[in-house]
Structure 1
Amino acid sequence: MLPITNPEPAFTLTRASHVSLGVTDLEKSRDFYRDVIGLVVTGETDDAVYLRGLEEAAHHSLVLERAAVARAHRIGLRVRADADITAAEKFFVSAGIEHQRVERAHQGPTLQFRDPVGTLMELTSSMDVVERKMQNFDEHRAGFPQRLDHYQVVTYDVQAATDFWTGLGMRISEYTATDGTDELWGTWMEVKGNTHDLVFTNGRGPRLHHFAYAVPDGASLLHAADVAGAMGFGDEIDRGPGRHGISNALFLYLRDPDQHRIELFNTHYQFIDLETPPIRWDLSNARRAQLWGMPASNRWFFEASEFPGEPVREPLLQAAPPTLEAYLALH
């Protein structure tokens, strides 16, 4: 069934904020995100690289952390103020949710927790402020990524994930359900007024499917693809360019040296007014994934980044996705 958003959550979420990835070759991954994607390197240590988009004033939206095994370490969300971190702690205690306060470089009060479907999350109320680079046009490169926008997580239980996050104030902008029912296969949820900050889709999980940066226009996606090809990463274009039905976004997906997936996208619409209902898509409607072009490949549907220490579970709902390989077999 379709959950109803809690209009008075225990604390106030404001946006998707940052992601931390474990990478096995820190320097190679830094070069990929700086030169192939176009992110700005804010700072480096022996064990971490901090990056951000061109218009971001927060110190980082991507943290690369040196690791023996490539994993998606944490997904980060911002809350409005320090008081919301305290309120979140109280809520998690009352709800029996695992959590801990941590010290994170360049961040204010920070709280880590595990949501009911095993997604490893992090909340922070502030970050160090740095110079925006949006008008430093001489420094722009590759896809010209402006800001981190959203995440997509593969989960074994979309209903449970959606129930939890709508309880914390997220609104469903669009969703996919079994034809003729509200049996949820995917939910696109937001708090900042466009179509999504956090997405859950059905599959083996919990795993991070991708994180996404907004770019200025469609030409930026094509330029990013050209740069990837010129620098030897053409085979790491995972999907696109294309246009989604859900969210109406133009998209390009790439894989980094550890096979973490990043999306560059353009053309969200507003989802602000409270009376606006979510858009529903039947599971059988292939236009939800792309309005035109070939379907995504097996690896786009089935490969994703695991979270450290979290067992991957089989999905409660079973169906074969419309993969490129299946399409070609029929045509």
Structure 2
Amino acid sequence: MRKTGIDKIPGRFMLTLAKPNEDNMLPAVNLKPPFNITRFSHVVLEVNDVGCSRDFYVNVGGLVETEFTDGVSYLRGLSEACHHSLVLAPAGDKPACRRIGYRVFLEEDLDKAKAFFEEKGLPAEWVEVRNQGRTLLVSDPSGARIELCSSMSVHPRKFLAVHEHRGARAQGLDHCQIMVADPLGLSAFYGELGFRTSEYIAAGDTLIANFMYRKGVCLDLALVPGIGPQLHHFAYTVPESSDIFAVCDFASRYGYGDSIERGPGRHGPSGVLFVYLRDPDGHRVEFFNNHYTTIDAELEPIRWDAASLSTNVHWGMPAVSKWFFEASEFAGVPLEHPEKMPNPMTLERYAEGLAKS
């Protein structure tokens, strides 16, 4: 395995390049999948107070509301033309993630997807969704609920309407991170669907996190171990590095200063600047500056050897414990526990070690 020249940081990471299956860890990828998923598309959250949550995402994050109807808010980033990337709907018993969404390229991909999921014995049904074309609702092997659609209604982008900009000026939805009991097994499933790995974290022969993509930058879906399936976070890009800090200022301005959970910092995998916040219902959202491209076929996955799930290799403190273990359940989906719970280096453990030194 070739070293890249980045030295090992004690207790954190050693960066190496690994070809798929070179260390018998990464599942195979189908480069000609049975149907064509193009990108991560949208998130549907159930919240206690739609108006309160909408104000958080508009005033702090800078999203724009495309439509508010029947008590549901449809939001999107400033660079997004499609109707919505975030939907806020009234909660049932408690706040939850109702579903996440991916786009497919052509409508015929939806029929191919239905056949694929049915052949796997996984749920697949047609559903009517406002401002989306024909939509297929499926479940992956973890139970996570997923919408597949090929089209939405289109609206003018707002990135040049600077007089309307607010908050962190979020540009577009980029990726989500899902906690699951078996990240390796689910990685194999998404590999069948053409998802490639840009980077992954491993401890010995154990896959700790897998960062997978379809759209030609390094991430659409991150899979990490834990009680699941649960939505750990979803992430929006911002146009300038300064907007990472601006979102913190706007959070403070609108009374959400204590919702800043992790960062600002710089990730090890991907190297992006980031900050994580919890919305009024505890759903976690990340704002970050953009990724590198991964569209070329010869690019190899990057392996990060790690003893923990911390990705603050460059600078910054480890995340607090709740960042690793708290997440949004999928509404009505049973949870499964992993055989072994992760034991990451949390801020609490780090501080305890400093106190003893």
TM-score, normalized by length of structure 2? 0.90
Secondary structure at 1:248's aligned position in 2?
coil
Match of 1:239 among 252, 258, 262: 262
Structure 1 unaligned spans of 5+: none
**Structure-2 residue corresponding to 1:98:** 123
Percent identity, aligned pairs only, is 48
Please tell me the residue identity of whatever aligns with 2:212: M
Question: Do structure 1's residue 293 and structure 2's residue 316 form an aligned pair?
Answer: yes
Structure 2 unaligned spans of 5+: 1-24
The correspondence of residues 13-32 of structure 1 with structure 2, limited to 5 A, is: 13-32=37-56
Distance in 2 between the 1:285 and 1:18 partners? Answer: 30
The correspondence of residues 250-269 of structure 1 with structure 2, limited to 5 A, is: 250-269=273-292
In the alignment, is the contact (CA less than 8 A) between 2:225 and 2:342 conserved in 1?
no
In the alignment, is the contact (CA less than 8 A) between 2:308 and 2:345 conserved in 1?
no
User: Which portions of structure 1, spanning 4 or more consecutive aligned residues, are displaced by more than 3 angstroms?
Assistant: 285-290
**CA deviation vs aligned residue, 1:177-224 (integer Å, no higher than 9, x gap):** 122x2x211100001111100110011111000000000121011111
Report the Cα offset of residue 161 of structure 1. 0.9
In the alignment, is the contact (CA less than 8 A) between 2:226 and 2:342 conserved in 1?
no
Please tell me the residue identity of whatever aligns with 2:44: S
Report the Cα offset of residue 313 of structure 1. 1.7
Report the Cα offset of residue 61 of structure 1. 0.3
Report the Cα offset of residue 290 of structure 1. 3.8
Question: Do structure 1's residue 42 and structure 2's residue 42 form an aligned pair?
Answer: no
In the alignment, is the contact (CA less than 8 A) between 1:176 and 1:282 conserved in 2?
yes
Please tell me the residue identity of whatever aligns with 2:99: R
**CA deviation vs aligned residue, 1:125-175 (integer Å, no higher than 9, x gap):** 000000100101111111110000000001110011101001100000011
**Structure-1 residue corresponding to 2:139:** 114
Number of aligned residue pairs: 329
In the alignment, is the contact (CA less than 8 A) between 1:117 and 1:160 conserved in 2?
no
Please tell me the residue identity of whatever aligns with 1:36: V
**CA deviation vs aligned residue, 1:236-259 (integer Å, no higher than 9, x gap):** 001110000011111011111100
Please tell me the residue identity of whatever aligns with 1:315: P
In the alignment, is the contact (CA less than 8 A) between 1:242 and 1:290 conserved in 2?
no
Report the Cα offset of residue 36 of structure 1. 1.3
In the alignment, is the contact (CA less than 8 A) between 1:51 and 1:60 conserved in 2?
yes
In the alignment, is the contact (CA less than 8 A) between 1:281 and 1:288 conserved in 2?
no
In the alignment, is the contact (CA less than 8 A) between 2:310 and 2:346 conserved in 1?
no
**CA deviation vs aligned residue, 1:69-98 (integer Å, no higher than 9, x gap):** 100011100000100001101111211111
**Structure-2 residue corresponding to 1:33:** 57
The correspondence of residues 129-168 of structure 1 with structure 2, limited to 5 A, is: 129-168=154-193
Please tell me the residue identity of whatever aligns with 1:218: S
Question: Do structure 1's residue 187 and structure 2's residue 210 form an aligned pair?
Answer: yes
Secondary structure at 2:270's aligned position in 1?
helix
Distance in 2 between the 1:155 and 1:54 partners? Answer: 31
In the alignment, is the contact (CA less than 8 A) between 2:310 and 2:345 conserved in 1?
no
Secondary structure at 1:318's aligned position in 2?
coil
Secondary structure at 1:86's aligned position in 2?
helix
Report the Cα offset of residue 15 of structure 1. 0.5
Distance in 2 between the 1:21 and 1:286 partners? Answer: 26
Please tell me the residue identity of whatever aligns with 1:128: S
Match of 1:202 among 222, 225, 244: 225
Please tell me the residue identity of whatever aligns with 2:34: A
In the alignment, is the contact (CA less than 8 A) between 1:154 and 1:201 conserved in 2?
yes
Report the Cα offset of residue 316 of structure 1. 2.7
Distance in 1 between the 2:101 and 2:209 partners? Answer: 20
Q: Indicate the RMSD between aligned Cα atoms, in angstroms.
A: 1.2
